[in-house]
Amino acid sequence: MISRYTRPAMGRLWTDQARYEAWLKVELAVCEAWAERGAIPQDALERIRARAAFSVERIDELELTLNHDVLSFTTSVGESIGDDSAWFHKGLTSSDVVDTAQCLILVEAGRLLLEGLNGLLEALGRRALEHKHTLCMGRTHGVHAEPTTFGLRLLVWFDELQRHRERLRDAADGLAVGKLSGAVGNFAHIPPSLEEQVLDKLGLRPAPVSNQVVQRDRHAHFISVVAGLAATLEKMAVNLRSLQRTEIGEVQEPFGKGQKGSSAMPHKKNPILLERITGLARVLRGFAVTGLENVALWEERDISHSGAERVILPDACILADYMLAKMTYIIAEMLVRPERMQRNLELTGGLIFSQRVLLALAAAGVSRENAYGIVQRHALACWESGKPLLDSLSSDREVTGVLDHIALLACFTYEPYVQHVDELFERVGLRSS
């Protein structure tokens, strides 16, 4: 991933240096397990521990000739160990090391993503509570529907992100496995008990059964979960972008001191961060497709997945980490304008209360079909004339014959749209501290 979207902690996990360190960690754990079984002399193990090292530059140099990254790695480490390198990589095939080490990295990447998601949930929960009762216009199909609260809108996202947190935990746990079962998974050169011994040292579980690789349904699930999280971040971004439009103006993403919005128009404050999140989510969705394509490999293994994973695994984690950080910043610092929300609530002259009038007429004995027709007739006329709906209804004897002024006026109140909001916050488990 380009440096523009790479945050340091996540980026370090996917460097060549970090990958080879993980490989070496696996190799040394295997040497230790063999030594504990008496298959490697203890003094040889001590020398291996003391001397084992590698150079990324040397590995790159060797790969120009060997055209095999694991052999280049083991050769580089072997050069540092010396004669005891005969014990190094004992009984292993390349994927034993690569897949187990990759799972170590992915588990750590999952931890960082969970950390970022928790930060976003904290910021989102705080803003939702802040605006729990802040009335705003609810829209369906982009058209004014009925009043809601801005806090409830944020609460929907909060609840959705909590589901993503559980999915991410599960997907990361599904990758907390390794395999040391050999070239075709039959443990011809390493017993299953040694695999268990090594993986316990590494904090992983054995894949219950494997061929030459850890099965890629695990990786596909992880990438799909990350892509699903990105889709929710995109949903948040698209909706906040819409609310920032000049005609609506209810929120605005942070705009820093000295920031410029346009090279030509000095007045512009564009939702560039939200648009960036939208665009990056499209990239992550594509990674999910590639992850699913990687599940099907020939017999015990081919490497059609390998090149793709070198791109999609680091880039998916790096992009998701970046998107979480940016969305957390946006939510925490965005400008919310309740006065603009109130202005928009009043924009249609009371049309947004049409359902309450409909229900009141029906409760007073008018058939629902007739009540709907009455309210719709007035509402559509008010759309065109700009006349307030209450005034229009008050002049209709068919309406006033069943609803007196007090009953009609009671339809034009915001209270019903906030009366259960507290219960919904409780249902989601979001409470003021």
Just list the catalytic residues.
141, 262
| CA-CA-CA-CA dihedral for 40, 42, 45, 51, to nearest 10 | -140
Rg (CA), the chain: 30
Closest C-alpha to 91, from 162, 195, 226: 195
CB within 8 A of 417, min separation 6: which ones? 135, 146, 147, 148, 149
- What does the alpha-carbon distance between residue 262 and residue 251 come to, in Å, rounded to a whole number? 19
Written as one string, the DSSP assignment of 84-99 is GGGGTTTT--HHHHHH
Count of other CB atoms within 10 angstroms of residue 257:
4
Q: What angle do CA 329, 288, 313 make, to 5 degrees?
A: 70
Count of other CB atoms within 10 angstroms of residue 2:
7
CB within 8 A of 360, min separation 6: which ones? 403, 407, 408, 410, 411
Specify the residue for token string 């904090």: 203
Residue 148 phi, psi dihedral angles, 5° rounding: -145, -165
- The DSSP letter of residue 215 is -
Task: Quote the distance between the C-alpha of residue 364 and its chain's center.
Answer: 49
Please, what sign has the CA dihedral across residues 48, 51, 56, 57? negative
Q: Token pair for residue 22?
A: 């993980």
The strand pairing partners of 251, in sequence order, are 336
Q: Containing H/E element for 144?
A: strand 143-149
* Furthest C-alpha separation in the chain: 104
Closest C-alpha to 119, from 331, 314, 335: 331
Closest C-alpha to 269, from 278, 283, 285, 256: 256
